Structure 1
Amino acid sequence: MKKYTFYITLVFALTVISCKKEEAPKPKVIYQDNAKTKTQVPEDTTQIEIADLPINMDGTNYLIFPVGTVSGDKKGIKASYDSNTGYTVSNYGEYQITGYLKNLKFQEIGKDTIYALSDNAILIETATYLKSTADKTKKQLMVYTLADMDTNKDNKLDNSDIKSLYISDVSGKNFTKISVDFQELIDWKVVDSRNRLYFRTVEDTNKNGAFDKEDRLHYFYIDLLAKEWKAEEYRPI
């Protein structure tokens, strides 16, 4: 009887593992209704919004408050929060803030007003101060990678949605999207000698909801000294 029970358990376990292996990866874009219509993301009432202590990028006149969420219940923040992170929602190093942040708040040093980077639903993964550019041009800028649309239509913003590229002044003002909607950001870099920010994206040209080798790569740059940031496409190949 024990051997029979063990055999049934083993078969069940192998079946579950096999099913998991056969599961297709979740698409980053769901093409239903109108995929290019922004979906309203419902508020998650199980999450409590908190802010980390302020960060001052060296050489700037602004404080930045990273804002994120932790799990909560009716009594407040759960006692079972991750002991490794506690109430911390971001990390900071090398002029870059990282995390999964709902927003950033800014405050000019010497003033009381604190204001948000954006009033829209976003999920910020990185916020980078372009210190090398500021040293040469005296123009202080921030670059952000983030999700700004529920592209896979699962009613939440997370790292399963398309990643976009934004830029702003170091004050958080003039927050501007420079990548194209529904194109996944691959990477970006600044070339100081040209005062340009270069970046690559991939477009789901075969409309299968994923980004793969069958899709088209796009190459862009923006002039960091321009009054209005506008991505220019170029073709290196």
Structure 2
Amino acid sequence: MKKYFLLAVAVLLVSCKEEKEKPKVTYDSAAKAKTETPKPDSSSVAIADLPVQITGTDYLIHPIGDIRIYDKKYDSGSSASSDVSYRISNYSEFEITGYLRNMKFQAKGSDSLTVLTDKPVLIQSASYLKAFADKGKPQLLVYTLSDMDTNKDGKIDAADIKSLYISTVSGERFTKLSPDMWELIDWRLVEQRDRLYFRTIEDANKNGEFDKEDLVHYSYVDLGEKEWKAVAYQPI
């Protein structure tokens, strides 16, 4: 009995290790990740949260996501049911977070909705650059999201590479700032220079993971320019 128990534990540990070490990038299919669109999940049900109006702006933002279903098991083990969550986003401190499939924008005095993108994405955060707007500058949103199925598991989710995007508060000029296949580390607004700084990491050794052997890149975007373009710089 003890022998079988130890064997079961060993199998469980190996399974957990394999799951943990699942790469973010599958390079034999990385080229296809840019061109192939994952098929929609037929089991998912799209839903919108109640709209958010960021203070100081004239637009309502409608977060769009999927209904989440959680399995619930009873102690008896004889029956089970499912809990359904209709909440797909959170809003606090000028930031919308969640696992969003899209966003729609509605101007003050209008009933028309404008969609952010027609491409499959998973938006994890949308941050309003309040300090920049308070200086009389354009009202902008910065997004962290996944836009490619980089691990080729047939879906775009939080297990894929995260990228950096920007748009106006109306959802227009939706622009990618970070390079394809480079993982976003973090970003920061530097108010004194009207610049958005960010770091990305390149999987230089092509092992499918982001680790100390890879290359960290430093970039900034001049938000006051007509065209948002990432500029590389070398602090070290």
TM over 0.5: yes
Q: Which amino acid aligns with 2:27?
A: Y
State the partner residue of 2:78.
Answer: none
Taking the TM superposition and a 5 Å limit, the aligned residue runs for 1:158-237 are 158-237=157-236
Shift of residue 19 of structure 1?
A: 1.6
Q: Secondary structure at the match of 2:6?
A: helix
Q: Which amino acid aligns with 2:101?
A: K
State the partner residue of 2:10.
Answer: 15
State the partner residue of 2:24.
Answer: 28
State the partner residue of 2:39.
Answer: 42
- Identical aligned residues as a percent: 53
* Preserved contact between residue 190 and residue 196 of structure 1 (Cα < 8 Å): yes
- TM-score using structure 2 length: 0.90
Taking the TM superposition and a 5 Å limit, the aligned residue runs for 1:48-197 are 48-71=45-68, 80-82=82-84, 86-197=85-196
State the partner residue of 1:3.
Answer: none
* Cα distance, 1:203–1:15 mapped onto 2, change above 3 Å: same
Partners of 1:178 and 1:92 in 2: CA distance: 24
Shift of residue 71 of structure 1?
A: 4.7
Shift of residue 210 of structure 1?
A: 0.8
Q: Secondary structure at the match of 2:87?
A: coil
Partners of 2:111 and 2:102 in 1: CA distance: 19
Instruction: State the 4+ residue runs in structure 1 displaced beyond 4 angstroms.
Output: none
Aligned residues: 223
Instruction: State which drifts further: 13-22 or 40-49.
Output: 13-22
* Preserved contact between residue 128 and residue 140 of structure 2 (Cα < 8 Å): yes
- TM-score using structure 1 length: 0.90
Shift of residue 99 of structure 1?
A: 0.5
* Preserved contact between residue 166 and residue 177 of structure 1 (Cα < 8 Å): yes
* Preserved contact between residue 143 and residue 166 of structure 1 (Cα < 8 Å): yes
Q: Which runs of 5+ in 1 are unaligned?
A: 1-5, 73-78
State the partner residue of 2:73.
Answer: none
* Preserved contact between residue 68 and residue 86 of structure 2 (Cα < 8 Å): no
Shift of residue 20 of structure 1?
A: 2.7
Shift of residue 198 of structure 1?
A: 0.1
* Preserved contact between residue 39 and residue 153 of structure 1 (Cα < 8 Å): no
Partners of 1:92 and 1:33 in 2: CA distance: 36
Q: Secondary structure at the match of 2:149?
A: coil
Instruction: State which drifts further: 133-142 or 89-98.
Output: 133-142
Shift of residue 115 of structure 1?
A: 1.5
Q: Which runs of 5+ in 2 are unaligned?
A: 70-80
Shift of residue 12 of structure 1?
A: 3.5
Shift of residue 192 of structure 1?
A: 0.3
Partners of 2:25 and 2:16 in 1: CA distance: 22
Cα deviation, 1:64-105, whole Å, max 9, x if unaligned, reads 000000157xxxxxx7234xxx21100110000000100001
